[in-house]
Amino acid sequence: MEVAGSVFHIWVVFAFIVVAIIFFANERIELEISSIGIIAGLLLLFHFYPVLDASGKNLLTAQDILAGIADPALITVLALLVVGQGIVRTGALEQPIRRLVALRRHHPVLAIAVVLSTVLLISAFMNNTPVVVIFIPLMTALAERLHRSTSTLMIPLSYASILGGMTTLIGSSTNLLVMAAAVQAGQPQITFFEFTVPGAVLAVVGLLYALIIIPRILPDRASMKGEVMDVSGKQFIVQMEVAPDSPLVGEQAVAGQFPSLRNITIRFIQRGEHILLPPFDGLTLKPADAVVFAGTRKSITEAFADNPQILQGFLEPDSPDMDSASELKSVQDQTLAEAVVAPASRMIGRALYQISFHYRTRCVVVGIQRRSRMIRTSRMTDIRLEAGDVLLLLGKRSDIMRLRNNPDVLLLEWSARELPATALAWRARVIFGAVVVLAATGVLPIVVAAVCGATAMVVSGCLNVYQASRSIDRRILLLIGAALGLGAAMQATGGASYLAHAVLSVMMGAGPAVILSAFFLLVAIFTNILSNNATAVLFTPIGISIAHELGIDPMIFAYTVIFAANCSFATPIGYQTNLLVMGPGHYKFSDYFRAGAPLVLLLWIIFSVFAPIYYGLM
């Protein structure tokens, strides 16, 4: 009866795994519902049909199944997401990226290699999703400079971030989850650089493939450019008064441009009753100057982010005694959004100074965009609004969101973005650097360093509580919790050992190197069908059981899971960064298979040759 019961438990767990794979892969049911349904099913199953040992002890309690949700590795992943969001929110990577932009002017081909290498390096130490988000505009600019289609560069960008993630423990959530599953199976914790050497070998080979081969095999979809209209390049008319304490005071134009207003076209400057027209060479800005300029949303955002004090001319203090420090804090909490003047709006035919927009909404109109034609007028405040005009608005997020109920404007909610708090970028860099150094040197356990880093991001003001909580993806939390619950069930019921025996019986007579190679390929295939995180958690106990059967170090198979589960190159659903670049690159599903399948096979061959030598399995 005891053996029959064990067999029953094993096959029911396998059934759960098959159902989980089906639901996770097709996503017809929301990932959160699928995950929590699997957890609930496991709790019910092992409550009514517990796994008991010879002494009657329950080997898989509800606490064991739910332990994954509170696992230190999962907490580390979530904390690192908060730390990464602090880097993005403060624009801490903006200055290094601008230096790369300067490099492309003289050596554009070299710039691509430098950019992808930089992405690989950064992704070794922070979540790669925000890294790809930051670098997508840069790769678009490089594509234009080289007169290439973006389709030749976006997939290499995603792949470089994935390759970088397989070199250190915090490079990818996959790595941390393998460590969690290994510890759950009785193995020691993985240290920060424990698998960096083989990971770096695979990453360098993969990067060379991405640089040399992928641009030659991907289709050039430049012809699709016209089909996808990018409205972000259209310009807003902005009028800004130079405040007495503005950093613009005393700034002199160089080659017709003011350094703080780069990539912006100055239409004219009104000084008292006089209109100053371009060129502005040698002109110095003074307090109370009204600067009227045209700029894209991106260039306007960059100007405000670099010099938050510029916004003082747009914001009105809540009270007369508001000091400059609190006013600056309000600037850093501001959100930029776009809204369209609605048909039959009461604002149509009226100028900005006539509608009291700030008084009624607590939001400020920063710029106006008219899609039908370029606005040509003396001042932005003199423009009479028309239906369909796009207003660039500045305000607190709560005030911006309240415009959803305003009948005079149609809020474009997707456009709402907080201004980067670049004044706090140095704090974010220090916190991030401290997390990496403390974790890498072993001064603090990685979970302690990550949680302290996330806390420091909030306490230091780099993020508020809302922004920090928004960076935590509940899908990751529930998916990983479900996967770790399935892993615990496989371990307790003997399912992992059963599969290990099955694999070894199929490959009877093969040496450890051959079995390791076949295991890598199996995991790499599943990671492109299932999510990389679920694959990592499910295959780690199987790999450890195989290693025990072979009598070799189980951690070799754990590292193999890390490398193979990160080979999510052949499908867009394999990794989130693949989905991020799908739109900008105008890709089809087949493009990922065309570029990624050969890369998976290449890394499998390199691993099959290098790993047995490196780990002494020959």
**What span, in angstroms and rounded, lies between the C-alpha atoms of 89 and 504?**
50
Give the SS3 label for residue 616.
coil
Look at residue 373 in the predicted model and tell me its pLDDT: 55
pTM, 2 dp = 0.69
The answer to whether the CB of 527 falls within 8 A of the CB of 567 is yes
Q: What is residue 107's predicted lDDT score, i.e. its pLDDT?
A: 65
Alpha-carbon span 135 to 120, nearest angstrom: 12
> What's the pLDDT score for residue 73?
76
Which of the residues in the chain have pLDDT under 50? 1-5, 223-232, 316-329
Which domains, ranges and CATH numbers included, belong to the chain? 235-422 (3.30.70.1450)
Token pair of 386 as six digits: 């028309």
Q: Which residue has the tokens 């193979």?
A: 564
Give pLDDT tens digits for 391-415: 999 888 888 888 888 888 988 876 7
Whole-angstrom distance, CA of residue 172 vs CA of residue 474:
17
- Strands 290-296 vs 409-418: parallel, antiparallel or unpaired: unpaired
Here the tokens at position 182 are 């290994």
Q: Give the burial class of 224: count Cβ atoms within 10 A of its Cβ; 0-12 exposed, 13-18 middle, 19 or more buried.
A: middle
Report the alpha-carbon distance of residue 583 to residue 245 in Å, rounded.
Answer: 43
Separation in Å, CA 158 to CA 126, 171, 211, 566: 14, 14, 12, 12
Phi, psi dihedral angles at 334 (to 5 degrees): -80, 155
- Structure tokens of 127? 């979540």
**Cis status, amide bond into 279, omega within 30 of 0:** yes
Give pLDDT, residue 143.
77
Whether residue 596 contacts residue 216, with contact meaning beta carbons closer than 8 Å, is answered with no
Q: What is the DSSP letter of 420?
A: P
CA 542 to chain centre: 30
263: left (phi over 0), alpha (psi -120 to 50) or beta: left
Give CA–CA dist 116/253, Å, rounded.
35
* CA proximity to 117, closest of 175, 166, 164, 165: 164
Question: Edge to edge, what strands does the sheet with 274-276 contain?
Answer: 274-276, 265-271, 290-296, 235-241, 364-369, 390-396, 334-341, 409-418
Q: Contact, 547 vs 615, CB < 8 A? A: no
Buried/exposed code over 492-508 (b: 16+ C-beta within 10 A; e: otherwise): bbbbbbbbbeebbeeee
CA 307 to each of CA 172, 175, 300, 507: distance values in angstroms, whole numbers, following the listed order? 34, 39, 11, 64
**Kind and range of the H or E run holding 62:** helix 62-66
Q: CB neighbours of 384 closer than 8 A, spacing ≥ 6?
A: 349, 350, 351
User: What local confidence, expressed as pLDDT, does residue 328 receive?
Assistant: 41
pLDDT of residue 332: 57
State residue 320's pLDDT score: 40
For residues 321 and 338, give the distance between their C-alpha atoms in angstroms, rounded to a whole number: 31
Instruction: Tell me if residue 388 falls in helix, strand or coil.
Output: coil
